[in-house]
Chain A
Amino acid sequence: MDLFLKILAAVPVTLFVTLVSFAIGALLALPLAAGRRAPYAIVRVLSKAVIDILRGIPPVVFIFILFFGVGSSVIRWDPVVASIMGLGLISAGHLAEIYRGGLLAVPAGQFEASSALGLGRATIFANVIGPQAFRVAIPGMVTWLISLLKDSSIVSTIGVVEIMFVTNQAARSTGEGLLPFVIAGAVYIAIGSPLAALSRWLEKKLSFGRRG
């Protein structure tokens, strides 16, 4: 019981790291997704390269580069800040691709029709294309949020006191090898499952009326 409460007490830190990184990623992904559709080839190539790098380096390696690498030679930072930066950047790469999928799902006719009506580019994106693309992207975004929740467990390796860190400590100090990890796993599943159900529900609901 004591063990359970100890692990439970670390849940807010996990949620904080997850949600803040997600928010940062969701914002940074906007220019990246836009870059993928820019009129200049060089911008498109650069955006694609940035996305590939963010998605291609294992999250724990990326966080090590930021925390130990950049942290030892450029600026010294707090593990929580480094974690949020790292997971936020990785999220930006993944969410940019999810946004792109949403944008691709909006029929070209919508764009042509709004141009024909004389709407400006900004208005078209904010009021016509954006909302439709977003609708398609939402289930993917929730799925990424679940991944991120699980990925946040790796920041225990740089000393952030979240679920996994506390679990590790408990496993070492109590000599109970298995139980702490079973509890931690259960806690992650308990947080992730409702999100997974939400994603499935949204997918059904939002795809309604989109066919044909």
Chain B
Amino acid sequence: MELLSDWLEWSPRLLSGLWVSVQVTALSLLVGIPLGLGLALLSSVKSRVVRILTMIFIEVGRGMPAIVMLQMVYFGLPEFNIVLDSFTATVVALSLTTSAYTSEIIRAGLRAVPDGEIEAADALGIKRLDVMRFIVVPQGFRIALPTLMGFAILILQVSSLAFTLGLPELLSQAYSVGASTFHYLEVLTLAGLMYLVITVPGGWLVENFEKRLSRHLS
């Protein structure tokens, strides 16, 4: 019973932290996914130089741990007189990470659009840009959607690393409650449960969605 009343007492603070986590996650996806689409398109242009530079950016973004990206943006950029607050720095870093990861997801989606459709569109005399805009990108996105949703859940998890920048997100709030009450186990467990309440049903949703999209295959 004491646990429940403690949890009730800490909830407002933790929920305000969760709200920050959700905000940075949503903003990072909102900025990162369009960037990812841009990178996916750039990685298939004719110019070799552009292609190689894009690939390097993607490999670096995916190969670097998110915590390195976060700290690099927050502690590194001030050297160039770019000082970001922890919220902005988190959004910038997670957007960069998101763009690198989602570019690969979107690229796979675009590749899965049957060649015949592009040929058919070409044969109809539709302009290259319109073929991309109206035929390849919408279908490719649809194919990539379940994987993108799965990635969104992952980014919420990654946002907990913004704790290291002092961003008052869920983990920061839980940790400081722990530090002042010494009930670390209880409060951190509550934080863990709050993440689970989003990630587990989110995972089911993705699974369901995947099944629905591949129904025609079975």
Contacts and interface: CB of A to CB of B under 8 A. Distances in A.
Interface string A179-212: 0011011001100110010000000000000000
B200 A69 contact: no
A146 B67 CA distance: 15
Interface of B: 59-60, 63-69, 71-72, 75-80, 156-161, 163-164, 170-171, 174-175, 178, 182, 184-186, 188-189, 191-192, 195-196, 199-200, 203
Interface in A5-39: none
Nearest to A151: B65
B79 to A, nearest CB: 4
B188 A65 contact: yes
Interface in A130-162: 150-151, 153-154, 156-157
A58 interface: yes
A177 B79 contact: yes
Contacts of A185: 60, 63-65, 68-69, 72
A53 interface: yes
> Considering residues B77, B156, B192, which has the most beta carbons from chain A within 10 angstroms of its beta carbon?
B192
Contacts of B184: 64, 68-69, 71-73
Given A69-B188, A157-B163, A64 B196 contact: no
Size class of A's contact patch?
A: 35 or more
24 contacts: A53-B196, A53-B200, A55-B203, A56-B203, A58-B156, A58-B161, A60-B161, A64-B188, A65-B188, A65-B189, A68-B184, A69-B184, A69-B188, A69-B189, A70-B185, A72-B184, A150-B63, A164-B65, A171-B76, A176-B79, A178-B72, A181-B76, A188-B64, A189-B60
A59 B188 CA distance: 12
> Considering residues B67, B69, B189, B200, which has the most beta carbons from chain A within 10 angstroms of its beta carbon?
B67
A69 B185 contact: yes
A190 to B, nearest CB: 9
Interface residue SS majority, chain A? helix
Given A60-B163, A70-B185, A188-B64, A168 B71 contact: yes
Contacts of B67: 153-154, 156, 164
A113 interface: no
A166 to B, nearest CB: 12
Contacts of B76: 171, 177-178, 181-182
A47 to B, nearest CB: 14
A177 B171 contact: no
Contacts of B186: 69
A57 B72 contact: no
A192 B62 CA distance: 10
